[in-house]
């Protein structure tokens, strides 16, 4: 009969979740999103500056 109860213990999932690990994972996602956003903003700014330079050279 003790074998029946031992199997139940093996099936349980550890209810403790480390909140710091969750925060680290979300920080990584936020950082990568911000990096992508900065790259996109830099590319758009570079394109705008090129267009301005092209317009200036045309005069």
The yes-or-no verdict on residue 55 having pLDDT over 90 is yes
Q: Is the dihedral of CA 30, 35, 39, 41 positive or negative?
A: positive
Q: Where are the alpha helices (DSSP H) in the chain?
A: 2-11, 19-58
Distance CA 24, CA 39 (A): 22
pLDDT tens digits for range 1-44:
555 555 555 556 666 666 666 556 666 777 788 888 999 999 99
């Amino acid at each position: 009969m003790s074998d029946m109860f031992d199997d139940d213990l093996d099936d349980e999932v550890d209810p403790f979740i480390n909140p710091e690990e969750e925060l680290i994972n979300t920080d990584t996602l936020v950082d990568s999103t911000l990096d992508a956003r900065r790259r996109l903003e830099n590319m758009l700014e570079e394109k705008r500056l090129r267009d301005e330079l092209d317009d200036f050279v045309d005069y």
